[in-house]
Amino acid sequence: MSEPTTVAESAEAVVPGVWRWTIHDERIEFTSSAHAIVGDEGTVLVDPLPLAPESLAGAELPAGLRAHSRRRNDADTFVLERDGGVAFVPDLLVNPPGGAVEVVSARYMDGPAEARRSFEKLLDLRFSVLYLDHGVPVLDDPKGAIRALLAAG
């Protein structure tokens, strides 16, 4: 069966350590639910469904993860607040193996004009490691790599 096209607008903590979000699933014309179970050993997703990024804006999530907004009200950057900070930044930057950090092609961005402001907001966050959806993690001076992109214009 294909994936649903509907995106859940929010998630709720049902009981400590268990999160739930639901959608009206157009594939079956009924409600579908997804769950995240969070424990000391990690987090397990049970039948995950799409969840709107803005539903997490400003949230402190399990395991010390905090949602941050780069633009509008989207929670599209997540920082794990330990070990100097670990940032997870989807769909803005790429880091090809053996290459340098680059901006994602404009054709893949929702708002290319907002990219510069997004970079500047990233510099305000506390992190020393940068994970991207595309490419390898930036382990050596990730903020320096972002500053270099800003300086290049």
Q: b/e for 48-59, b at 16 or more Cβ within 10 A? A: ebebbbbbbeee
pLDDT tens, residue by residue, 33-62: 888 888 787 777 777 777 776 777 666 676
For the chain, the straight-line distance linking the first and the last C-alpha, in angstroms and rounded, comes to 45
Domain boundaries, the chain: 1-51, 53-152
Quick count: other Cβ atoms within 10 Å of Cβ 93? 24
- What is the model's pLDDT at position 74? 47
Find which of 23-27, 32-36, 39-43, 142-146 is predicted with most confidence, using mean pLDDT. Answer: 142-146
For residue 71, is pLDDT > 60? no
- What is the model's pLDDT at position 75? 44
- What is the model's pLDDT at position 128? 93
pLDDT tens, residue by residue, 113-122: 777 778 888 8
Which residue would you say has higher pLDDT here, 34 or 112? 34
Kind plus residue range of the DSSP H or E element containing 140: none
- What is the model's pLDDT at position 110? 66
Rounded Cα gap, residues 133 and 111, in angstroms: 17
- What is the model's pLDDT at position 57? 66
Residue 142 has φ and ψ, to the nearest 5°, of -60, -35
- What is the model's pLDDT at position 138? 92
Could you please state the CATH topology (level 3) that the domain comprising 53-152 is classified under.
Metallo-beta-lactamase; Chain A (3.60.15)
pLDDT tens, residue by residue, 79-105: 877 778 888 887 788 888 888 898 888
**Cα radius of gyration rounded to whole Å, the chain:** 17
Rounded Cα gap, residues 3 and 134, in angstroms: 22
- The answer to whether 4 and 34 are in contact (CB under 8 A) is no
How many CA atoms does the CB half-sphere of 44 hold within 13 Å?
A: 5
- What contacts 101, CB < 8 A, 6 or more positions away? 93, 94, 95, 130, 132, 138, 142, 145, 146, 148, 149
